[in-house]
Structure formats: C-alpha cells, structure tokens
Amino acid sequence: MSADFTGRRVVVTGAGKGIGRATALMLARRGARVVALTRSGADLETLKAETGCETIVVDLADAQATRAAARQALPADLLVNCAGTTELESFLDVSVENFDLLYAVNTRAPMIVAQEYARERVAAGKPGAIVNVSSCASFVDIPDHAAYCASKAGLDGLTRVMAKELGPKGIRVNGLHPTVTLTPMAVKAWSDPDKAAAMLGRIPLGRFAEPDDIAEVILFLLSDAAAMVHGLSMPVDGGFMVA
C-alpha cells in the first residue's frame, strides 16, 4: 500500500525536472504539502500550477543563497536532496571550474540544506527523515564522469556521518543510488548510442529507470514504513550493481 503523506510538509530540491519533479508530483498526489526548490522559475510555475506547491527559486551553486532558501523553506517534516548536475569530461580534461561547480551543487548544497532542516527539527524536538539522491556513479567508475563520481562519493560520506549524528536525534538519513534514469540529465550524459548500449547491457532488468521508479523508492524511504531503515545506500538500478 502506498504511504500517505497527508499534512506533511516536504522540501524537495531539484523539483523542476526529472526525478525531483516526479518526486514532488508523487508526494503531492499522496497528500504532502511540497516546498519545491530549483533554479528555473518556469519549471516551478508549471509545477505550482499542477500541484499548488510552494516554490523557491535558488541557484544551489551559491552557498549563501542556498542557506537562505533552505531557511525560507522551513519548517518541514521531511527533506529530499535531489538536485544535481553533471559535466562530461575525461579525467585529463576535468576543469577546476566544473569540479568546483559539481561539488557545490551535488555535495555542498545537500549539506547546507540538511543542516538547516536538521537544526530546525532538533530545536523543535521533532523527528524527521532525509533522502540524499546520490548515484550508482558513486560506487562504480564511469568514464568521463570523474568530477561527478567524486561529488557523489562525497555526498555518500556526508550521508553516513549524518546518519551517525542525526539518528540519535530522531532523524533518519538514507542515500539512494539510481542507475541511468530517463530525465534531461540522462539525455546530456547518455545520448551517445554506443555508450548507452554498453550501459544498458550491464542492467539485468534490461531497461533504464523511469523517474517514477526512483520517486517510489524515495517516498518509501521518507515514509514511516521505513522507520528502521537508516544509513542505507540503496541502489535503484535494475541489478546494475550485481551484474
């Protein structure tokens, strides 16, 4: 049975497109009051028209703006750190600018948003749950993804420490690791048919994920059905990790 989020306020970053948008829509369908954060105002307008959610435009590469947006979004019962970005470069060509950008958006921003969320929950004496959307790329080498793999591995480190420190305060924290998921990011990263075919060949279930495949598991990890699930790095990958 699907979890009911009626009356629960949930912050979702990266809610404009792809997995974040699918998550925001699914949460709204299941009763949540969603607070959607992302960069493109136009995406938020259409999401608001569909769901009536609250919206905050923010560039998560900007640490100060990220902290201000996180504070504006609070208080919230639950948090999904989903926003992410990538740039394809071979290791020898990784630029410092792109490395810093990916680190800022994929690693530092989730930390800042989670800090603000968790401080508020702890001060209010209330429990909570956080899902950090990582990637199979934090476990597995993927050529041309050096900065991305590093940024997601950094996020995993944060997730583990957050689980250790926030668990005793009543806040569950889990990481979720999608395989290739059919979103605008996947178009950017996997439009080369040879690379896509090789990747698909490593997925025993024989397909890439749809955004709703990932959103369903995010909602499970947020829900009370996952009350004893904590500190997990959960692949949602059609078996990619065991292939």
For 206, other C-beta atoms within 10 Å of its C-beta total: 9
Q: Is 103 a catalytic residue?
A: no
Is residue 231 within 8 A of residue 161, CB to CB? The reply is no
- Per-position x/- string for 69-88, each x denoting binding to ligand NDP as judged by CB under 6 A, each - no binding: -------------xxxx---
Is 20 or 154 the residue whose CB approaches ligand NDP more closely? Answer: 20
Rounded to whole angstroms, the Cα distance separating 84 from 130 reads: 16
185 part of the interface to ligand NDP, by CB under 6 A: yes
60 part of the interface to ligand NDP, by CB under 6 A: yes
Size of the site for ligand NDP (CB under 6 A): 28
Collapsing DSSP states into helix, strand and coil, what is residue 69? helix
**Residue 221 φ then ψ, to 5°:** -65, -30
Is 84 or 238 the residue whose CB approaches ligand NDP more closely? Answer: 84
Q: Is 148 a catalytic residue?
A: yes
Tokens of 7: 């009356």
Is residue 234 within 8 A of residue 176, CB to CB? The reply is yes
Q: Smallest distance, Å, CB 22 to ligand NDP?
A: 8
Rounded to whole angstroms, the Cα distance separating 23 from 82 reads: 9
Is 55 or 223 the residue whose CB approaches ligand NDP more closely? Answer: 55
Is 133 or 234 the residue whose CB approaches ligand NDP more closely? Answer: 133
Q: Smallest distance, Å, CB 138 to ligand NDP?
A: 9
Q: Smallest distance, Å, CB 111 to ligand NDP?
A: 14
Collapsing DSSP states into helix, strand and coil, what is residue 170? coil
Q: For 114-150, give one letter per residue: b (16+ CB within 10 A) or e.
A: bebbbebbeeeeeebbbbbbbbbbbbbebebbbbbbb
19 part of the interface to ligand NDP, by CB under 6 A: yes
159 part of the interface to ligand NDP, by CB under 6 A: no
Residues of this chain that bind ligand NDP (CB under 6 A): 14, 16-20, 38-40, 43, 58-61, 82-85, 105, 133, 135, 178, 180-181, 183-186
Residues with a catalytic annotation lie at 148, 152
